[in-house]
Amino acid sequence: MEPATVDVICPHCSVTIGAPPDTMGTTQECPACSKAFALPALPVARLVGTPPARPATRQPDAATSVMKGILMAVVILVAIGFLVYVAWQLTAATSEVGRLQNKYGM
């Protein structure tokens, strides 16, 4: 569906004007301040009201890669923590055996 009018911001008084699509790319008089200004061509005018879609679609990708990085760091930290825990348990068990061996003269 083609819009009945295209929103154009007047460079003189910053009023948003609903301009018919067939007047785009021509010089028109602002109905609010009566000053003439050139209406942008249609594809440019469309961008005035609607933000470009690219940043919105790119941001989730960046957030996903950041989340993956954080997840990887957590997994690595948990793995290191587990290894340290196992090593500590083995050391404690070994020293306990040594303590018992000394106690009973083995």
What number of other Cβ atoms are within 10 A of residue 88's Cβ? Answer: 10
Each residue 24-53 as x (binds Zn ion by CB under 5 A) or -, in order, gives: ------x-xx--------------------
CB of 73 to Zn ion, least distance (A): 55
Interface with Zn ion (CB under 5 A), residue total 6
3-state percent helix, strand, coil for the chain, nearest multiple of 5 = 60, 15, 30
CB of 14 to Zn ion, least distance (A): 7
CB of 10 to Zn ion, least distance (A): 3
24 dihedral zone (left: phi>0; alpha: psi -120 to 50; beta): beta
How big is the CA angle at 90 (ends 73 and 78), to the nearest 5 degrees?
Answer: 10
**Binding range to Zn ion, per CB under 5 A, among 8-16, 39-47, 60-68, 94-102:** 8-16
Instruction: Enumerate binding residues for Zn ion (CB under 5 A).
Output: 10, 12-13, 30, 32-33
